[in-house]
Amino acid sequence: MLRWIVFVILYITLGIYTLQALRTVTRFPLVYYGYMALSLLVLGNFIYQFTVGDNSGRVLNVPKSYAFGFLLAMLSFKAITILFLFSEDIFRFLSGLYLKINGTPKVFNFPERRRFLSMIALGIAALPFSSLLYGMYKGKYNFKVLKYQLEFEDLPDSFDGYQITQISDIHCGSFDNRKKIEYGIDLINKQNSDLLLFTGDMVNNKSEEMLPWKDLLATLHAKDGKYSVLGNHDYGDYVEWDSEELKSNNLEELKELQREIGFNLLLNESRYLTKGEDKIALVGVENWGRGGFKKAGDLTKATAKIKEKDFKILMSHDPSHWEDEVLKHPYHYHLTLSGHTHGMQFGIEIPGWVKWSPAKWRYKYWAGVYEELGQMINVNRGFGFLGYPGRVGIWPEITVITLKKKSIS
Number of structural domains (the chain) is 2
**Final residue of a domain: which of 97, 118, 137?**
137
Mean pLDDT (the chain, rounded)? 91
Nearest partner of 132 among 341, 346, 342, 360, judged by Cα: 346
Report whether pLDDT(317) > 90.
Answer: yes
Residues 114 and 237 in one domain: no
Write out pLDDT tens, residues 1-12. Answer: 788 888 888 899
Is 77 in contact with 125 (CB distance < 8 Å)? Answer: yes
The answer for residues whose C-beta is within 8 angstroms of residue 340's C-beta and 6 or more apart is 168, 169, 200, 201, 231, 232, 289, 317, 318, 319, 379
Stretch (H or E) spanning 13: helix 2-25
| Side-chain half-sphere CA neighbours of 293 within 13 A | 19
Q: What is the pTM of this model?
A: 0.91
Q: What is the mean pLDDT of residues 289-297?
A: 93
The domain boundary, picked from 118, 137, 156, lies at: 137
- The domain that holds 183 is classified in CATH as 3.60.21
pLDDT of residue 51: 85
Residues 46 and 129 in one domain: yes
Q: Would you say 201 and 173 are in contact if contact means Cβ atoms under 8 Å apart? A: no
Question: Pairing mode, if any, of strands 375-379 and 263-265?
Answer: unpaired
Contacts of residue 137, defined as CB under 8 A and 6 or more positions apart, other chains included, come to 390
- 60 and 151 assigned to the same domain: no
DSSP string, 238-293: TS--S-HHHHHHHHHHHHHHHHHTTEEE-SSEEEEEEETTEEEEEEE---B-SSSS
Shared domain for 394 and 268, answered yes or no, is: yes
Contact indicator for 262, 218 with CB cutoff of 8 Å: yes
Backbone angles phi, psi at 304, to 5 degrees: -60, -25
Under the phi-then-psi rule, with left for phi > 0, alpha for psi from -120 to 50, and beta for the rest, what region is 352? left
Domain boundary residue among 120, 137, 154? Answer: 137
CB count in 10 Å sphere of residue 237: 14
224 and 272 assigned to the same domain: yes
pLDDT at residue 91 in the model: 62
Beta pairing partners, 350:
354
Model confidence band, residue 104 (pLDDT cutoffs 50, 70, 90): low
Task: Calculate the alpha carbon distances from 353 to 143, 209, 240 in Å.
Answer: 21, 39, 44
Exposed, middle or buried, 28 (CB in 10 Å: 0-12/13-18/19+)? exposed
Do 169 and 98 share a structural domain? no
Does residue 266 sit in the same domain as residue 177? yes
Residues 170, 29 within the same domain: no
In this prediction, what percent of the chain has a pLDDT beyond 70? 91
Could you tell me which residue, 106 or 390, shows the higher pLDDT?
390
- Contact at 8 Å (CB) between 265 and 259? yes
Q: Tell me: do 290 and 366 sit in the same domain.
A: yes
Say yes or no to pLDDT of 256 above 90: yes
Give the pLDDT of residue 181.
97
- Residue 59, pLDDT score: 54
* Domain extent for 15: 2-137
Whether residues 312 and 377 share a domain: the answer is: yes
The answer to whether residues 250 and 375 belong to one domain is: yes
Q: Based on the fold, state whether residues 195 and 294 are members of the same structural domain.
A: yes
pLDDT digits (tens, 9 = 90+) for 26-85: 888 888 889 899 999 999 999 998 887 766 544 567 889 999 999 999 999 999 988 877
Q: For 211-241, write each residue's pLDDT tens digit.
A: 999 999 999 999 999 999 999 999 999 998 9
**What are 105-163's pLDDT values in tens digits?**
555 455 566 677 778 888 898 999 999 999 999 999 999 999 999 999 999 999 999 99
- In sequence order, what DSSP letters do the residues of 167-233 get, joined into one string? E----GGG---HHHHHHHHHHHHHT--SEEEE-S--SSS-GGGGGGGHHHHTT---TT-EEE---GG
Give the Cα separation of 194 and 121 in Å (integer): 52
